[in-house]
Amino acid sequence: MAAAVGDEVCFLCGRPLGRHVQRHHPVPKSRGGRETVAVHPICHRVIHAAFTNKELERGQGSADALRAHPNIAKFIAWVSGKDPDFHAPTHKRRSQ
């Protein structure tokens, strides 16, 4: 984990990044993705709780596609006023 640089914001929620930053592959590394984006640890966990690597690979990994998912949209509304270093447990993906 690296410190935030300048005015960098989270790929998912758009809030300023705090002391703890993770790198997320919009197309999973296991699926050939090389690009990474900066995210809060809590946002990173929410992405992977909502989507499988296969789903992310199939185009659901863009910021717009992620934000359009009902659970992610609800999470972003909830976390929007929180401190950049806010931490809370996230729920694991339920099998369907």
Residue pLDDT, tens place only, 12-50:
999 999 999 999 999 998 888 899 999 999 999 999 999
4 has a pLDDT exceeding 60: no
d(CA 29, CA 92): 21
Q: What angle do CA 63, 91, 30 make, to 5 degrees?
A: 50
Terminal C-alpha separation, the chain: 32
Domain membership flag for residue 13: no
Domain membership flag for residue 10: no
Structural domain harbouring 38? 22-79
Domain membership flag for residue 44: yes
Q: Average pLDDT of the chain?
A: 86
**2: pLDDT confidence band, cut at 50, 70 and 90?**
very low
Total number of domains in the chain: 1
Domain membership flag for residue 3: no
